[in-house]
Structure formats: structure tokens, C-alpha cells
């Protein structure tokens, strides 16, 4: 059903999900939830024929953006006092970084396709 590139993308998404679960809560069961979510998202991406270079890079950018947003809010608040703001900051910065990285990845992939179609001449 899936080829090697789809299997690689599913594995990368599973690893990203596990890493996200570990990054946000290393002592809880979030690593298992993250792994399951990543594998599920990878299967969905393979089903709708997302390119293996595009899906994981956008997901990784979103996860890193969410982590940075959460850590910024965490640095500004007292420990344990701004949980809602941490979640909001993570969602806001994660969504923004996914959009930004998604645009850059889409433009780069399109430019590579145009370069290949043109015979590789500049």
C-alpha cells in the first residue's frame, strides 16, 4: 500500500510526535500520545500524497515554534502560574511558524520543479 518514501515519512512523523511528547512533558505519558499522534498524522499525509520532504519539515517547524512560544511565556511568568498563557503562546507561535515554514517549503519545492522542467539551465 505504501512505498518506501511514504514509510519513511510515517517513521519521521512518529519520531517527531514522540519528540514533541518528550519535549512538552518528559515524565508523563505524553511521549506515547505524541508517538501515536505522529504516526496517525504520517499515515494521513501518506494517504493524501503529501511529499515526504514537505510534511515532516512543516510539522517540525510547528513543533519548534510551539516550544519556543511556550518557553517565552514560561520565562515571563512565575512557575505554574500561567498554564493557560503557556498553552495560548504555544498554539499561537506554533501555528504562525507552521504557516511561515509551509510557505517557504512550498516556494522552494515549486522552484525546484521549475528548475527541473527548464532543463537545469539558469
Give the pLDDT confidence of 69-91 residue by residue, as tens digits.
Answer: 999 998 998 887 888 898 899 99
Q: How far is CA 79 from CA 82, 83, 85, 92, in A?
A: 8, 9, 12, 21
Is 42 within 8 Å of 10 (Cβ atoms)? yes
The span from the CA of 45 to the CA of 84, in Å, is 30
pTM score, whole prediction: 0.78
Is the pLDDT at 32 greater than 60, yes or no? yes
Q: What phi, psi does 13 have (nearest 5°)?
A: -65, -35
Amino acid at each position: 500500500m505504501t512505498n518506501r518514501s511514504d514509510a519513511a515519512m510515517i517513521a519521521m512523523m512518529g519520531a517527531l510526535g514522540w519528540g514533541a511528547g518528550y519535549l512538552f512533558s518528559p515524565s508523563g505519558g505524553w511521549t506515547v500520545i505524541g508517538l501515536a499522534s505522529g504516526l496517525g498524522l504520517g499515515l494521513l499525509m501518506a494517504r493524501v500524497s503529501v511529499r515526504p520532504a514537505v510534511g515532516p519539515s512543516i510539522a517540525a517547524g510547528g513543533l519548534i515554534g510551539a516550544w519556543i512560544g511556550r518557553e517565552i511565556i514560561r520565562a515571563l511568568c512565575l512557575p505554574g502560574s500561567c498554564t493557560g498563557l503557556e498553552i495560548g503562546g504555544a498554539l499561537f507561535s506554533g501555528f504562525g511558524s507552521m504557516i511561515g515554514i509551509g510557505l517557504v517549503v512550498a516556494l522552494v519545492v515549486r522552484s525546484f520543479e521549475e528548475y527541473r522542467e527548464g532543463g537545469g539551465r539558469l
